[in-house]
Structure 1
């Protein structure tokens, strides 16, 4: 659909999606770009971060240099400094200093420069004991925090605006109700500018009918929309503002719930070829060849999947599980069941290293059952082929032919599977590994290669809190694997402060040598390939959760560390060490991984390409350099590469971060537990939620402005239940307000599902 306002069915949505330039003018609209506010609806959703009565002073003790702030404080004293050259003639400039306080603790210096008349005017405004709102960027001068030339408005004893350098009708309007909203602001848009713009937006929206049906509002117990906007931007009391905010948060939760319920209903409405499990086929032969018993969790999840596959509508299932919980075996059984039922399976992986690893793992586990087309192949054997972008043309042609002819029952690949070249004879199941690396459109592109809608199984080794699953993956049924198969060993995790305890770094390299001499192997993980790279991307993403805390010193790189450790006399010079990263040719990467898996390499110095899917049971030790630059889920994934066999594992997290920083808190959480679900909750608690819910490969910010999935769990669950009821009552979404909600959330600019 078009993104213009004419796409919207209701007057409310037309007004909400009007460009704010029509309301505030082009110049002000441009200033709002920095806040990602482009429509009237965006502006009305931009709510104050807090509300203050005119007599309520701000806490000045927690201000940080570089912050854009608006504080309500009392003037303690002022001092005007002499003019340049002691003259008051034309062109002379002076300086006024003022000190503001909250009367308890915390003090802030204000500095103004200007001609004598301005200095006199400011001095009269800022006399001792008066109160005002002061806005600017916190700086440091002579070791004291200060606002240089701040904007301000002064308040009377009742908290009403009386004047100031930027006093205007908007602040007077807001303060008349005894509450002043302090908005997230910028240097060019102070809080009172935003308040004025919000009032104009309210006037523009006034009179539009609420797009949400009255039955939904009544069930949710929320305000009418215009009333809610007024309560948020022009509140008389804090409880009134809270009620308005509750409606806006409900709208976000309901919109997601409605879209997910709609997607699920649409998927079920499509016909799909049932793939019931068949006895005495390839699946049973595979089960009989397994050298281990399936866990109870694997059997239960497999039963759920086989029940889905037997239905005449496509399976839509998310399989999440702990690192090492055996998701690949569950996915293989699903694929083999589909092959038994006459279909093919496509296995989509995010990187060539991971796709190749899956190909090797699956063919190894199938053994002779993967040798269809050869003389000695068993009766039920199939072919497994790999398709990646960099593979040689001749091998790719063979793989493409096997997929198109149906000879290959399992086709494994990267994004290359999405190309027009790749065709299937009877695609019955799509398995997506590490689903957060693929968007809805990419999964749909693969599904479009089937004559009828294929079944879908998406997997993640990053446990997802229930509320996140409800919001981001609510169109999928969810299965969870928590049980770890027998034979896995304990892994101890230790944070190493490389600044306070440099000797531990030397000891870490010695410990690796000791492990190797006992017949084990090790990983050393870096964030970068070479010293010329910035912190970034190598097949899988490296993004610290709190980028503002990212260490300023350069991170160690694979090539640099390899040289230091393996040079003559280097700590690892006596053992076999190789590098692995995404820039190596595909054949070289494959060769390195093959030799490492075969025990021909003792230590891999690698980027995060080994984060998921790499299975070397003999690996017992891992050192993660600059661990403070990784997120919790990545550290958990990386650590999952060791302790996969009989030998206990040791994971050392090298860090140079401040022990009181959020980065250090992340590392402590990882060191404290191997429970991925507990770590997922900690991750969500510590991270900016936009990263969790909306960050895709393009790095766009989440559309969720107000909702917080941990804080608002009950609201999310309630909104989802109401949304499910709406779709059940109105499956075609004939209600124009509901249709507009679905259109909005399905538009690419609103919700980016990574």
Structure 2
């Protein structure tokens, strides 16, 4: 016969389970618990007479149980009634336990809290929370906090743990009194206690909207920690060593020869940005620069010239892109530019055969390859660079933080393990000002704010899917006058297979609808050689209409393509729609992007489509995208599961962010002890997200 576990052992086991659940929420000790702040509050400080209840009202009532029974029509449920001096209220439970039935014994006085509803037999509450009321049951003097939680971790357990933490944790203020006065900030201990136990007379709207002075203090602290941590990351980077890669003089350098053979001249913005990058590469500390420029602004040639500067100094460069098709576009362009100069460009992705892959890895390790281009295959353990001087990451937000750090870790080579490569990150998704200040303060930012001559503005049209026949007719007309067309199939996030099937079906339907045209198909599952052949045929003008999944989102450059159709445009994010639209308008012909949508549209989908129709300005699109999606997408940390900002809102709290930015500079300059204390309280293991 099994021996029952002792109460002490069972209690320890329960405690361990609760600790595991708390750890899932990032709650490991008192310091974490005091900053686990409520998401909302319930007012249990007052009793509402039953007669005053109206449907939809959340309230707490107190009365004597007058009836309690289990009924079976129309289904099994527990029904009870309670009465106070003013009237009677029904309580109903569709799912219940014997303990609840026992608690609602006739004659017992209870308190019930929930939403009042107008039932068939009068006012009722469904699944209210109930407690037994005694003569000594006092009403709370503060609002009841409701905390973020996880399955199996009740509010009561969290409230008890947080109450204990408030007794044990260090609540001393990390900020000097002078700084608190300068920015009119509430004391830390007062702010935290108020947020956990707000008094009944507190402004409820200020609490809910996170505009109360207690919330403002917490937001300031969080944003200040972010600023201080970025400054610390920047200082740490300036302590690290990188090889100097000065811009070499003379007509025989790779940079000079590349400039002389380019079939176009550089814009003023490109020349300005190149000077900034060249100056950074010549320094003994690793460059950490973000190159941002709208779709088609010419970032790739800037990256090529930066790589040429590294090669002129006897070092290698690497360019990592998020998708194979984008990496391949870069590779083909760079081979066209560098091969005539005798510079070896190596291609490395996961889809290569074992033999070709071994050869590529060997060329990179020996230094035979001056420039390596590829996907995240570049950061695999078996890939070792001979002398990596410059790491370029395209569409940096599409990579996780760990992947970006891994590429940086490939620097130094065999003879200089303590050297870090210079790092150039590129994005066609402009970073909104608030995000630049709070999350990219460690980066030097270069902006290509000028499009090459000959680019034409793209007209965006919104059409319901019901007008598909008109779109097909438009494609036929575009092909007749010698133009080419993209047709992008809908994004199906849940299923790559479903997305592929949609592309195949669309290709078949359009081939039948346009019998005189050559309709091509490209998607992520095509073998590399086949994909390259299709793209080459499209570029050569042999394919009139290219049906594609989102693999053509970035990097594809076909100047003769002047019409783009995006099917089910309501399924795409703003950044993706903007990137896709940038595939047309690269030649002299007037270009059109048709966004085909299916009704009904959600509010967010309507906002996205309206934005695309109203503006082609990448910065304005990025600002609105931040409003709709939050900062995770821009930073490439969505997959980490960590909230980037728990309390501050980068769109509405810009004034607080500016104050924190200013305060960080003051503290950094004069009070390093304050900086250390503040970071110890707030950053707790999240610093790595600011290093990439």
Which of the residues 525, 530, 538 maps onto 2:488? Answer: 525
* Cα distance change of structure 1 residues 168 and 654 upon mapping to structure 2, 3 Å threshold: farther
**2:547 aligned to which of 594, 600, 605:** 605
Query: Deviation at 1:608?
Result: 1.1
Moved more, 341-350 or 729-738: 729-738
Q: Aligned to 2:576, which of 634, 646, 649? A: 634
Matched, 1:419 2:380: yes
Q: Determine the C-alpha separation between the residues in 2 that align with 1:664 and 1:123.
A: 54
1:477/1:635 CA distance change after superposition, 3 Å: same
Q: RMSD of aligned C-alpha atoms?
A: 4.4
- Give the equivalent residue in structure 1 for 2:556: 614
Structure 2 match to 1:669: 611
Q: Distance in 2 between matches of 1:385 and 1:168?
A: 80
Structure 1 residue corresponding to 2:37, chosen from 43, 47, 54: 47
Contact 2:458 2:593 (8 Å CA) reproduced: yes
Q: For the structure 1 residues 488 and 350, does the alpha-carbon distance in structure 2 shift closer, same or farther, using more than 3 Å as the test?
A: same
Q: Is the 8 A contact 2:109 2:133 kept in 1?
A: no
Residue 290 (structure 2) pairs with residue 318 (structure 1): yes
Match among 449, 457, 469 for residue 411 of structure 2? 449
1:307 aligns with 2:279: yes
Deviation at 1:189, TM superposition (A): 6.9
Q: 1:134 aligns with which of 110, 114, 120?
A: 114
Asked if residue 203 in structure 1 is aligned to residue 167 in structure 2, the reply is: yes
Do residues 342 (structure 1) and 305 (structure 2) align?
no
Take 1:444 and 1:117, find their aligned partners in 2: how far apart are those partners? 59
SS at the partner of 2:304?
helix
1:704 to 2:645 alignment: yes
What's the CA shift for 1:358? 0.2
**SS state of the match for residue 624, structure 2?**
helix
SS in 1 for 2:588: coil
- Asked if the contact 1:432/1:458 (under 8 Å) is kept, the reply is yes
Residue correspondence of structure 1 range 372-521 to structure 2 within 5 A: 372=341, 381-447=342-408, 448-450=410-412, 451=416, 452-498=419-465, 502=466, 504-521=467-484
Hey, what does 1:718 align to over in structure 2?
A: 659
Cα distance in 2 between the residues matched to 1:431 and 1:192:
50
Structure 2 match to 1:262: 232
Q: Deviations over 1:115-149 (max 9, x none)?
A: 998778699868xxxxx74269x9x999x999632
Which of 327, 344, 368 matches 2:299? 327
State the shift of 1:677 in Å: 0.6
Offset of residue 468 of structure 1: 1.5
Deviates further, 454-463 or 723-732? 723-732
Deviation by residue 1:425-453 (Cα, 9 ceiling, x = unmatched): 43221111011123444334333332332
Please, which of 482, 503, 527 is the counterpart of residue 558 of structure 1?
A: 503
Change (3 A) 1:56 1:525: farther
The secondary structure found in structure 2 opposite 1:620 is strand
In the superposition, relative to structure 1, how do residues 556 and 424 fare at CA in structure 2: closer, same or farther (>3 Å)? closer
Structure 2 residue aligned with 1:129: none
Equivalent pair of 1:321/1:481 in contact (CA under 8 Å): yes
Q: For residues 182 and 134 of structure 1, what CA distance do their matches in structure 2 show?
A: 14
Partner secondary structure for residue 322 of structure 2 = coil
Contact 1:488/1:645 (CA < 8 Å) preserved in 2? Answer: yes
Structure 2 CA distance for aligned equivalents of residues 61 and 315 of structure 1 = 64
Q: Offset at 1:83?
A: 7.4
Q: Which residue of 1 aligns with 2:79?
A: 95
**Structure 2 SS opposite 1:442:** helix
CA distance in 2, matches of 1:494, 1:449: 47
- Deviations along 1:349-397, one digit per CA (max 9) or x if unpaired, are 1122111110112223x2xx5235xxxxxxxx42222222222445445
Q: 1:685 to 1:163 in 2, by over 3 A?
A: farther
- 2:470 is paired with a residue of what secondary structure? helix
Contact 1:357–1:614 (Cα < 8 Å) also in 2: yes
Residue number in structure 2 paired with 1:148: 126
Query: Cα–Cα, structure 1 residues 753 and 426, in superposed 2: closer, same or farther, change >3 Å?
Result: closer
Report how far residue 676 of structure 1 moved.
0.9
Q: TM-score, normalised by structure 1?
A: 0.74
Contact conserved, 1:556 with 1:626, CA < 8 A, in 2? no
Q: Kindly tell me: are residues 26 and 426 of structure 1, through their superposed partners in 2, closer, same or farther at Cα, counting changes over 3 Å?
A: closer
Distance 1:307 1:117, change over 3 A: closer
Question: More deviation in 240-249 or 410-419?
Answer: 240-249
Q: Is the 8 A contact 2:464 2:596 kept in 1?
A: yes
Contact 1:691–1:702 (CA under 8 A) maintained in structure 2: no
Partner in structure 2 of residue 581 of structure 1: 523
Distance 1:214 1:94, change over 3 A: closer
* Deviation sequence 1:452-505 (CA, Å, 0-9, x none): 32211100111111221233333211112222211112212122232xxx1x11
- Higher mean C-alpha displacement, 731-740 vs 193-202: 731-740
1:255–1:745: 8 Å Cα contact kept in structure 2?
A: no
Aligned residues of 1:97 and 1:112 also touching (Cα < 8 A): no
Change (3 A) 1:622 1:276: same
Residue in structure 1 matched with residue 330 of structure 2 by the alignment: 358
SS at match of 1:489: coil
Offset of 1:716 from its aligned partner? 2.1
TM-score normalized by structure 2? 0.81
Q: Distance in 1 between matches of 2:26 and 2:81?
A: 35
Query: In 1, Cα distance between the equivalents of 2:150 and 2:350?
Result: 45
> Per the alignment, in what secondary structure is the counterpart of residue 34 of structure 2?
helix
C-alpha distance 79-599 of structure 1, shift in aligned 2 (>3 A):
farther
